[in-house]
Amino acid sequence: MPILVDEQTRTFHLKAKDTSYILQIVNGYPVHVYWGQSLREDSNLSNLSVYTHTNLDRYAQEYPQYGSGDFRSPAYQVQLPDGSRITELVYQNYRVYAGKPELKGLPSVYVESDEEAQTLELILSDVYSGLRVLLRYTVFAGFNAITRSAVLINGGRDAIRLLRALSTSVDMEKSDYELLYLAGAWTRETQVERRPLGPGSFKLESRRGMSSHQLNPFLALVSPGADEDQGEVYGFSLVYSGNFTADAEVDSMGSVRVSMGINPFEFAWHLEPGSAFQTPEAVMVYSADGLGAMSRTYHKLYRTRLCRGVHRDLERPILVNNWEATYFDFTADKLEAIAKSGAELGIELFVLDDGWFGKRNDDTTSLGDWVEDRSKLPDGLDELAKRIHCQGLQFGLWVEPEMVSPDSDLYRTHPDWCLHVEGRRRTLARTQLVLDLSRLEVRDYLFDALSRIFSSVPVAYIKWDMNRGLSEIGSAAAPPERQMETAHRYVLGLYELLERLTSAYPHILFESCASGGGRFDPGMLYYMPQTWTSDNTDAVERLKIQYGTSLVYPISTIGAHVSAVPNHQVGRMTPLTTRGDVAMSGNFGYELDLTKFTEEEKELVTAQVTRYKRFRPLVQQGEFYRLKSPFAGNETAWMFVSEDQTEALVCFFRVLAEPNRPQRLLRLKGLNAGYDYVLEESGEAYGGDRLMHRGLTLPPLQGDFTSRIFYLKAYINQ
């Protein structure tokens, strides 16, 4: 893990687990030299970077500037008091220290001991303006990962204006890569897209105030022909929940610059003398062994060193959510009946969704009024929770604190508390407005209102929803020169509120939601260790959604439920068995009326719940391997392997039946070639080498939308 510094050549060699990242100071500029498989510590690195010219447009700068000869996308841009935008950061010094610092006000990957990581800090300065920048790089002993962020400090005498402040910029010397990213829409999140790079710039971004359903804050450069198991992959993931940009720009010389950070669109930051601006963190992962190895690095890093709290390593409960069972129309008796049915089936948590507060009989009213509706719940939430507990289930609750309804007591009292621009129309979406979380008094109100519930009701779980993007992004509390800070200050305010709540109520399991996957990003996982992946619960659509999400995010963060058929989003009829098998590849639950099950369905669901409880540690903590892609054909398969390789759970799905289909073999991954594995379903034993190189024989399946799950247990001959 050491960070090696050659003072003579001013070369910095950052060594993560099996990865080297090298940069060098050339003519005062930090330039990128190498990123890839680990190089020996005694390798001669003096001639890796050769710059015989002074044309900055050819330099592979680590934090490129605007206006002094580099015509590609800059990493930062500053407006000075005289209106000019020209700065030139020059290397001054460096620091190397053990461990990893926290990012002030922002989520980030962390370490539990200083031995886990080392950090390099490059100090750059612009003599003319007094601007200083600290470039931070952290390398990890146990991961092929490097984190990057920047701190911009105004060391001058006058205020300056940041127009652009990205987290990372990496220049690769060639561009014969393909670009892989996750795109989609509401109910169609994280669809895997892949395309070759070419001259020009390819941009991924969100301007919605959140990371968005449309594009996830992730991209990867992959070598041509790279797949799950072979080829080079360079992954970039941003730990941020607001407007972001991720660019891949190929220049005329065939190199590519990848940059990532806060979207500069509609962003500016007024930086007073002596003050600093911290960028979010970018997590960069290198894999020499394809996409699967990249994903498993992100999975373990994010599961164990991004997610926090007592629930990080605990098994997540099997839940039933009443939303698709009742929507807004429920009584305490109806909710208790669902909980009672759930208890009989072995379910562990009942979640009361939207409609329990204010006068909330539809989605036009009461957001912001976080007091139970006594006309629906005459004895209150506390009494309902006790009734749920008497059935043997924990009690959970849905909230949407970031929003306010115009028809609410809160809005009538504080109409200026929403994001708005005076004199302009206030755009409604889902008949609601967005509260201005950049304001402390708004956050204090929400903390107090939610605390009254969390302190008086035995709540074990909170589903935190957010059902619209940000519009009219202005704050009544901000002066004119700070209005373009509002979108970022909103995110900072959200993080501050979540830090207060999760610290005050560590026993509560928080799940993030934004109409499904509209804010499924690493930033939210720092506060809430799981996310509702999509409002689309159709088993067939979920194959693609969960497969795509798994490229970056751990299975323990993926919420997946069984819902009723015909499916409420697409109208498809799928077997209960298949719906359960898909949902068991995540945090398992049900979102339907359990009281309407037939006896046959009750038996099947009881078996599903029992099976998931048995394999829950393997699913939530095991290594995940993708075997067959739903984007490539009619079949999908993936598997979970225990860390010691003694257990494996294999999941296979076929969408449509095929006539006269030959028998197929499914090649497995991640097993120990020297172990023998017993297939529980048949009692037959197979060598790990055979299962990986020849495959597991798939049984014939009848009908559309079918699935099978196989369990393998190793026995080791001593």
Residue 604, classified by CB atoms within 10 Å of its CB into exposed (0-12), middle (13-18) or buried (19+), is middle
Q: What values do phi and psi take at 403, rounded to 5?
A: -115, 160
Strands 587-591 and 319-321: parallel
Confidence of residue 85 (pLDDT cuts 50, 70, 90): very high
Where b means 16+ CB within 10 Å and e means fewer, 406-445 reads bbbebbeebeebbbbeeeeeeeeeeebbbbbbbbeebbeb
| CB contact set of 560 (below 8 Å; sequence gap of 6+) | 533, 542, 546, 582, 583, 584, 585, 586, 587, 588, 589
How many CB atoms neighbour CB 676 within 10 A?
18
pLDDT at 56: 85
Greatest CA span in the chain, whole angstroms?
A: 80
Mean pLDDT, rounded, for 243-255: 95
Mean pLDDT, rounded, for 341-353: 98
Mean pLDDT, rounded, for 667-676: 97
Query: Which residues on neighbouring strands pair with residue 697, listed in sequence order?
Result: 665
Query: Which residues on neighbouring strands pair with residue 191, listed in sequence order?
Result: 183
pLDDT tens figures, 536-548: 999 999 999 999 9
Query: Which residues on neighbouring strands pair with residue 36, listed in sequence order?
Result: 20
pLDDT at 581: 98
- In the residue annotation, 535 being an active-site residue is answered as yes
Mean pLDDT, rounded, for 41-48: 64
Query: Which residues on neighbouring strands pair with residue 625, listed in sequence order?
Result: 639
Q: Which two tokens stand for residue 345?
A: 């089936």
The active-site residue out of 171, 353, 354, 535 is 535
Mean pLDDT, rounded, for 556-582: 97
pLDDT tens figures, 647-656: 999 999 999 9
How many CB atoms neighbour CB 265 within 10 A?
12
Confidence of residue 47 (pLDDT cuts 50, 70, 90): low
Nearest CA-CA partner of 266 in 280, 246, 281, 245: 245
pLDDT at 48: 60
Note if the pTM is more than 0.75. Answer: yes
Q: Return mean pLDDT, the chain.
A: 96
Nearest CA-CA partner of 397 in 518, 505, 240, 537: 505
Q: What share of the chain is helix, strand, coil (3-state, %, to 5)?
A: 20, 35, 45
d(CA 257, CA 247): 8
- In the residue annotation, 436 being an active-site residue is answered as no
Instruction: Please count the CA atoms within 13 angstroms of the CA of 246 that sit on its side-chain side.
Output: 27
| CB contact set of 363 (below 8 Å; sequence gap of 6+) | 354, 430, 431, 432
Mean pLDDT, rounded, for 607-616: 98
Residue type, 690: R
Confidence of residue 43 (pLDDT cuts 50, 70, 90): low
DSSP line for 130-147: -EEEEEEEEEESSSSEEE
pLDDT at 685: 96
Mean pLDDT, rounded, for 519-539: 98
Nearest CA-CA partner of 491 in 473, 511, 477, 509: 473
pLDDT at 718 over 60: no
Give the position of tokens 């400090």: 153
Residue 193, classified by CB atoms within 10 Å of its CB into exposed (0-12), middle (13-18) or buried (19+), is middle
pLDDT at 621 over 60: yes
Are 8 and 124 spatial neighbours (Cβ–Cβ below 8 Å)?
Answer: no
Nearest CA-CA partner of 62 in 19, 108, 22, 2: 22
Give the position of tokens 């601007």: 131
Query: Which residues on neighbouring strands pair with residue 678, listed in sequence order?
Result: 685, 713
Nearest CA-CA partner of 473 in 448, 436, 443, 500: 436
| CB contact set of 347 (below 8 Å; sequence gap of 6+) | 318, 319, 320, 393, 589, 590, 594, 609
Confidence of residue 237 (pLDDT cuts 50, 70, 90): very high
The active-site residue out of 465, 521, 538, 676 is 465
pLDDT at 53: 62
d(CA 531, CA 571): 24
d(CA 213, CA 176): 29
Confidence of residue 662 (pLDDT cuts 50, 70, 90): confident
Q: Which two tokens stand for residue 690?
A: 């055979």
Rounded (5°) CA angle 341-616-217: 105
pLDDT tens figures, 446-472: 999 999 999 999 999 999 999 999 999
Residue 375, classified by CB atoms within 10 Å of its CB into exposed (0-12), middle (13-18) or buried (19+), is exposed
Mean pLDDT, rounded, for 582-604: 97
Would you call 637 helix, strand, or coil by DSSP?
strand
Q: Of how many residues is the chain composed?
A: 718
Mean pLDDT, rounded, for 80-106: 96
